[in-house]
Amino acid sequence: MPIEADNLVKRYGDLTAVDRVSLRVADGEIFGLTGPDGAGKSSLFRMLTTLVRPDEGSGRVAGFDIRTDYLEIRKRIGYMPDVFSLYEDLSVRENLHFFARVFGVRVKENYHLIREVYEPLKPFERRRAGKLSGGMKQKLALACALIHQPEALFLDEPTTGVDAVSRKEFWDILYRIRARGVAILVATPYMDEAARCDRLGLMQDGRLMVQGAPQELIAQYPHHLYAFRAHQAYRYLELLRRHPRVHRAVLAGEAVHVSSLAPLDPEDMRQYLREAGIMDFAFEPAAPDIEDVFIALVDQQQPQTQEA
């Protein structure tokens, strides 16, 4: 396996940032990690990319031990951290050539590896990296991470703050990189991106709560789910939560997802809403998504009062 973690632990003082996390990422697989800020995703990435040492557990990347073989691992991976880390005062072209030299390769010889990522940047080769848009910075960082033909690619929230079109283009590129046999570990806060991964891990408080193919995780959703839609649906969150058979009501885009432990009668719910003075709305069964699964898992592990 190009990426392996076995019971990895990382502590910062009294805080356990990563708590016995184990995972495997195979050749030609995209494994996604999702969870809130502070869940431990970045700390896990830093251990696997040899930037920090684990306090417990072990890991191997490209066949090498993350504790002892950091020089070998760094030659064989591409890494995009969660902040733009290229040289902002260097031009696009200068950044690319600098990273190629660091890895002992030539841009001309390896250009085929980055062609589709770098071509949109060619008209801006002389522009300083710090002056690029978010989407262009993302492409430049990916080109620099790929120029040496890595065996494993680590992407820590690479599309945060990037527009929707650039996000889609980025994932289209990831699929083509995966087709070359590269193992990809990607962290994302976006549930639509998480659903595009081959396998997915949901993290909370440093723990990997569950992992599997997105559809497998969705199939394990434990509740009954309904969607409430109306103009400014968020205004009716508290009303929905007050119903005695509603377990949780949360915003889901422009709708409200309503979960219950036992099936609800949609017509009874419609009557409840009409009696509250709401006339123009829809209330019907809904299919869960990854976000619903994550909320249910957090509920099971940390019971708490209902929140938006």
CATH of the domain at 273: 3.30.70.100
pLDDT at site 302: 63
297 within some domain: no
Which tokens in the block code for residue 270?
């419609």
Mean confidence (pLDDT) of the chain: 94
184 and 235 housed in the same domain: no
46 within some domain: yes
Q: For 173-181, which contacts have Cβ atoms below 8 Å and span 24 or more sequence positions?
A: 173/116, 173/117, 173/142, 174/30, 175/30, 176/116, 177/146, 177/153, 178/28, 178/29, 178/30, 179/28, 180/28, 181/27, 181/28
185 and 262 housed in the same domain: no
Who's near 93: CB < 8 A, 6+ residues apart?
125, 126
Which of helix, strand or coil describes residue 57? Answer: strand
Mean pLDDT of 79-84: 91
CATH of the domain at 45: 3.40.50.300
pLDDT at site 276: 95
Who's near 162: CB < 8 A, 6+ residues apart?
134, 135, 138, 170
73 within some domain: yes
Which tokens in the block code for residue 230?
């109306």
pLDDT at site 31: 98
pLDDT at site 301: 75
Q: What is the spatial distance between Cα 176 and Cα 154, in angstroms, rounded to a whole number?
A: 16
19 within some domain: yes
Domain boundary among 169, 198, 216: 216
- 8 Å CB contact between 206 and 16: yes
Say whether pLDDT at 304 is over 60: no
36 and 95 housed in the same domain: yes
136 and 229 housed in the same domain: no
- 8 Å CB contact between 240 and 307: no
169 and 279 housed in the same domain: no
> Domain range for residue 262?
222-287
pLDDT at site 160: 87
Q: What is the pLDDT of residues 158-217, one digit of tens each?
A: 998 888 888 999 999 999 999 999 999 999 999 899 999 999 999 999 999 999 999 999
Strand partners, 155: 80, 186
* Residue whose structure tokens are 């417990």: 56
> Band of the pLDDT at 24, cuts 50, 70, 90?
very high
171 and 112 housed in the same domain: yes
What does the angle CA 17 – CA 18 – CA 19 come to, to the nearest 5 degrees?
A: 120
254 and 194 housed in the same domain: no
192 and 236 housed in the same domain: no
Q: What is the pLDDT of residues 115-135, one digit of tens each?
A: 999 999 999 999 999 999 988
262 within some domain: yes
Strand partners, 260: 224
Domain boundary among 194, 216, 238: 216
14 and 87 housed in the same domain: yes
Give the H or E element holding residue 241: helix 237-242
21 within some domain: yes
Domain boundary among 172, 194, 216: 216
The closest of 116, 117, 112 to 136, measured between CA atoms, is 117
304 within some domain: no
Per DSSP bridges, beta strands 3-12 and 248-252 are unpaired
Q: What is the pLDDT of residues 249-282, one digit of tens each?
A: 999 989 999 999 999 999 999 999 999 999 999 9
* pTM, two decimal places: 0.90
271 and 210 housed in the same domain: no
Domain count of the chain? 2
Say whether pLDDT at 306 is over 70: no
Q: What is the pLDDT of residues 102-118, one digit of tens each?
A: 999 999 999 999 999 99
210 within some domain: yes
142 and 240 housed in the same domain: no
238 and 194 housed in the same domain: no
